[in-house]
Amino acid sequence: MNVIAVFDVGKTNKKLFLFDERYRIVSEQSESFASVKDEDGDDCEDLAGLTEWVRGSLAQVMVRRDDYNIRAINFSAYGASLVHIGADGKPVAPLYNYLKAYPEGLKRRFYETYGGEVLLSMLTASPVLGSLNSGMQLYRIRYEQPELFARIRYSLHLPQYLSYLVTGRAVSEITSIGCHTNLWNFPQHKYHEWVFREGVAEKLAPIVPSGVVTDIGGISVGVGLHDSSAALIPYLQSFREPWTLISTGTWCITMNPFNDSPLTAAELEQDCLCYMSFEGLPMKASRLFAGYEHERQVRRLGEHFHRSPAAAAEVKFDRDCVEMLRAGGKIQDLTDCKSFEQAYHWLLMDIMEQQVRSTNLVLNDTDVRQIFVDGGFGKNEVYMHLLAEAFPDVEVSAASIPQATAMGAALAIHEEWNGEGVPGELVGLKYYGV
């Protein structure tokens, strides 16, 4: 059986999948690591453990070559994280956490030097996010740890480091560069001026296309992709008419690959940003902290009505309840709600009001025909019906893809390993009409 091995590295779980030529998962293994501390005592990824796991699990798979003919390997991983390697190819620093607090004085100095927060954010499509702007991590090392900065040969985004472990080839790739890193000047399609002026450019490996591979013993090894961009690839391969994806979890991120208009200051203020697709094209996205807020409020509802928060998953959509809430206008707080179910509809209506505002920021006059929802809210009947009502002129569907991020990484190098055409039914859809 011809297969591709895909490492999918998340913050919590690290997984290795084998996909056959029809993109069915034929093997899966998972690992997780306790965090370790950096030199400041802050939590960070166990880079040594991760490195050992990648090498060890790949060696185990290779031993099973009687069962599988491994044609290719690729990688997807979370963004905003850099692995700094020295001249000997080994890491010289921790894999710093992208949530690590950023010094206010250094941040202020950076933005004052390079045109201010609004201008720089617009050019780099990167809201001001501190360490989440991975380029700022290198800027910090340059000024706080100049000796370390001098020892760095290459700073590789995490997906490219994983690839480097197999190929020994240090490269940069556009989906990692183009995700709120502060590094890329989107209008000019090159690194921003500050990257050159601060000597950061020489720490960044040569840029290669997302679909390029290196032949290692007859196996095509990809360069890895940022997970958010990889997760879009099954949709890009499956649907031709303009569509938008709302990827739901802790954050609800609306991504529109058919909107490449430059970010405005107003959009930045409302938490818009741009990602880069694996084809090197910018796509606008907006973020809403709705999953987190939903979880917090459901706990509150449970305490008030003496119900388990798990009861929220059992609530069926009640159109009469929605109409009553819309017509009544009397509910000010939970004491005005008659039941857990009514309060839950009230909560979802409030979330949907924010969701529509967030999603409309990236629809922005593009001729979108379909909205897909994946993740937790895609399984939420109340959310999906309310979304369909909010966008009556667009087909709204819950989408399901087994391991979309890993599948996207496999699809990115399809032609390099797969002798068959891309299957036509990668995405499962459940349509919600008004």
Sequence spans of domains, the chain: 2-223, 226-434
User: For residue 126, what pLDDT is reported?
Assistant: 92
Give the model confidence (pLDDT) of 329-353 as tens digits: 667 888 889 999 999 999 999 999 9
User: For residue 329, what pLDDT is reported?
Assistant: 65
User: For residue 125, what pLDDT is reported?
Assistant: 93
User: What is the phi-psi region of residue 314: left when phi exceeds 0, alpha when psi lies from -120 to 50, beta otherwise?
Assistant: alpha
DSSP E strand boundaries for 277-422: 282-288, 370-375, 395-400
User: For residue 263, what pLDDT is reported?
Assistant: 87
Confidence of residue 328 (pLDDT cuts 50, 70, 90): confident
Does the pLDDT at position 65 exceed 80?
no
Give the model confidence (pLDDT) of 267-295 as tens digits: 988 989 898 999 988 999 999 999 999 99
Give the model confidence (pLDDT) of 170-219 as tens digits: 999 999 999 899 999 999 999 999 999 999 999 999 999 999 999 999 99
CATH class of 226-434: alpha beta
The mean pLDDT of 394-416, rounded to a whole number, is 95
Phi and psi of 372, rounded to 5°?
-105, 145
Confidence of residue 411 (pLDDT cuts 50, 70, 90): very high
Give the model confidence (pLDDT) of 146-180 as tens digits: 999 999 999 999 999 999 999 999 999 999 999 89
First-residue to last-residue Cα distance in the chain: 44
User: For residue 333, what pLDDT is reported?
Assistant: 85
Confidence of residue 251 (pLDDT cuts 50, 70, 90): confident
Does the pLDDT at position 70 exceed 70?
yes
User: For residue 330, what pLDDT is reported?
Assistant: 67
CB contact at 8 A, 99 and 32:
no
How far is Cα 161 from Cα 319, in angstroms, rounded to an integer? 50
User: For residue 341, what pLDDT is reported?
Assistant: 96
What's the per-residue H, E or C state across 240-272?
CCCEEEEEECCCEEEEECCCCCCCCHHHHHCCE
- Mean of the per-residue pLDDT values of the chain: 94
User: For residue 301, what pLDDT is reported?
Assistant: 95
How far is Cα 307 from Cα 215, in angstroms, rounded to an integer? 57
CATH architecture, domain defined by 2-223: 2-Layer Sandwich (3.30)
